[in-house]
Amino acid sequence: MALPAFAARALRPPLQPELGAPARTTCPRRHSRVEAELAASLPGSVAASVRAGPPRGVSLGFNSPPLQDEPPKAFSSLAGALCAPLFALLPRGRRRRMHDLRRRWDLGSLCRALLTRGLAAVGHSLKHVLSAIFSKIFGPLASVGNMDEKSNKLLLALVMLFLFAVIVLQYVCPGTECQLLRLQAFSSPVPDPYRSEDESSSRFVPRYNFSRSDLLRKVDFDIKGDDLIVFLHIQKTGGTTFGRHLVRNIQLEQPCECRVGQKKCTCHRPGKRETWLFSRFSTGWSCGLHADWTELTSCVPSVVDGKRDARLRPSRWRIFQILDATSKDRWGSSNFNSGANSPSSTKTRSASKSGKNFHYITILRDPVSRYLSEWRHVQRGATWKASLHVCDGRPPTSEELPSCYTGDDWSGCPLKEFMDCPYNLANNRQVRMLSDLTLVGCYNLSVMPEKQRNKVLLESAKSNLKHMAFFGLTEFQRKTQYLFEKTFNMNFISPFTQYNTTRASSVEINEEIQKRIEGLNFLDMELYSYAKDLFLQRYQFMRQKEHQDARRKRQEQRKFLKGRFLQTHFLSQSQGQNQSPGQNLSQSPNPNPNQNLTQNVSQNLTQSAKPNLIQKANRGKQKQGSGQEQSDSTSNGTKDYIGSVETWR
């Protein structure tokens, strides 16, 4: 900060110092340094002391002679590199004042001042550039060509405000979410969250013909009664995520109790200590690890009937006893019977002895992605050794189901070795887990030829999938959520998330390997094509039905409002006629306002309706009034009138 003029003059060195005496300073700590500088320049010279300028801390004032046009000395190499380009932008008078600031301020204050002046100079230059651009663009317009100073300032202020807003927006929200919000702000319609979920065309061309009963899935699920949802969890299909949605993300009167650190949750019916969900996260692996259709349809009814009021995970020998007893009850013996699994017998397994209704659900996935995901999971050490594979009351032997590895696990196996194993259960896993294995002799491959076996398994899987209460697809998360909500009349709290990046998508394979994986899973490829077609047809059917119901509801509301309007209109007319004295005197000796109101309403209806409708209405009144009294109430007359109006319309 500069000192006043009188203080500066008082602190100046004497005009005629003694010969050889150095200039004195007001700061004793700087005295020795100033004397050394003066002695180095011209010892004893008054001109040298005057040319050296005042000592640090003393200002020359505004009337001092100008400084030479040379760049100031930098305090350091870094400060000089930063500040030297900014000095070139400043006018000569400002450089002089900045030279004074350099003497008095520290490095931080000097840099801040230089930045401020530099920004001002940049703004001034930007103003001239914009003015030149506008003058070239709008040259023929004299009003714009001769812009005054106020308009220039206003334009500069607007440009600076816009740049500041852009910088602040990028600082607050630098991600792509804000860019999507900006694009949505400029787009007028709100996009459909279920449309083009897989980035494909929204129009779907069906390949299979399904009946209305196949497409309409509406389960009257009674959570307070005896209905039970059974989740068939196929490996690497996104079943873990969907299972968590079932126990943590459904709006219920009595939500599932999930404790921290525990995988299983308690999902009881309202007012009962009985579960309504049979899944991994509610009852555990009660029928074995990743039990398939054959195991669940035999095990679940017995487990539920035997332990209704307890959440039990039975041991292996108990599961074998249950399945063996169930198999003997069904077939009469534990031997295979190919004709026993008729459609009627399949339906009987959907209910237990106690009258419970079992609604089976599952999730499917693209076979190639599911196969690669299982391979990566096996590489990390997964074996699923705890799976029972119980069929027809017994597990398979080692000859029927050999192992693909000899050690404890198959960790680190390459993809080629994983595909070369002929006994790998990953091949066509979805068809095997959804079909009834008792139709083909379980895991005994010598019962029938391979071609016939594959055909029976595929047809059984398609039939079971079509008659399931619900199934979803991993590639269509939002559509899966929509169909589940419409099927069971249960809403989720938060929407499902579509994950396009998975472990399987990170695996890079060539076209030859992909074709080989498709060949190893040819049954799954056929089943997935069938399931995708049925899934999308069900979705379109439910959406069209929803739109039709909404349109029908709006039409009924319009009819109701129109009927109310006609009712109030004729009632107001009848009340006006009842108030006239002439009509009151012309009535019967026993005046009854309710009867008068009924007669007036009928007269108005007679004038507005057609002759044939009048005759039908009169015949209906005669039939209804044969056993009634002549004096009716106002409410009954109003109801008859509304019904007549609807008939007339």
Helix axes 522-579, 367-379, angle to 10 degrees: 120
pLDDT in tens, 549-576: 999 999 999 989 888 888 887 888 888 7
Beta-bridged to residue 359, according to DSSP, are: 229
For residues 365, 369, 374, 375, the Cα torsion angle rounded to the nearest 10 degrees is: 160
Alpha-carbon separation of residue 222 from 244, 253, 510 (angstroms)? 21, 12, 50
Note whether residue 600 is domain-resident. Answer: no
What integer pLDDT is reported at residue 52 of this predicted model? 46
Determine the pLDDT at residue 351.
58
Nearest to 67 by CA among 20, 42, 102: 102
**360 located within any domain:** yes
Identify the residue whose tokens are 């010892």. Answer: 43
Highest-pLDDT range among 9-18, 114-123, 630-639: 114-123
For residue 577, tell me if it sits in a domain: no
**In this structure, what DSSP letter does residue 527 have?**
H
State the Cα–Cα distance between residues 415 and 398, nearest whole angstrom. Answer: 24
Averaged pLDDT, 205-228: 92
Asked if the structure places residue 18 within a domain, the reply is no
Over range 177-204, report the average pLDDT. 50
DSSP-H helix ranges across 307-413: 316-331, 343-348, 367-379
Number of domains in the chain: 1
Mean predicted confidence (pLDDT) in 418-433: 96
pLDDT band at 156; cut points 50, 70, 90: confident
More confident residue, 582 or 123: 123
Q: Are the beta carbons of 584 and 577 closer than 8 angstroms?
A: no
pLDDT at site 201: 44
429-453 CB burial, b ≥16 within 10 A, e <16? bbbbbbbbbbbbbbbbeeebeeeee
pTM, to two decimals? 0.57
C-alpha dihedral, 632 to 633 to 639 to 643, nearest 10°: 20
With left for phi above 0 and alpha for psi between -120 and 50, is residue 393 left, alpha or beta? left
Inter-helix orientation angle 450-467/522-579, to 10°: 20
Catalytic residue numbers?
Answer: 290
Distance (Å, rounded) from C-alpha 284 to C-alpha 307? 14
Instruction: Report pLDDT digits (tens) over 233-258.
Output: 999 999 999 999 999 999 999 999 99
Which of 73-87, 299-313, 434-448 shows the lowest per-residue confidence on average (mean pLDDT)?
73-87
Rg (CA), the chain: 45
Length of the chain: 649
**Token pair 């897989």: residue:** 198
Domain that holds residue 374: 215-307+354-565
Beta bridge partners of 470: 361
In a domain, 536, yes or no: yes
Q: Which two tokens stand for residue 204?
A: 């779907």
Residue 462 within any structural domain of the chain: yes
Tell me the average pLDDT across 481-505: 89
Pick 120 or 41 by higher pLDDT. 120
- What tens digit of pLDDT does each residue of 100-123 get? 666 655 566 666 777 788 778 887
Q: How confident is the model at residue 514 (pLDDT cuts 50, 70, 90)?
A: very high
**Residues 49-70: pLDDT tens digits?**
444 444 444 444 444 444 444 4
Q: CB–CB of 120/86 below 8 Å?
A: no
Q: What is the mean pLDDT of residues 494-514?
A: 86
- Residue 44 inside a domain? The answer is no
**525, part of any domain:** yes
- Enter the tokens of residue 416: 């080629």
pLDDT of residue 83: 57
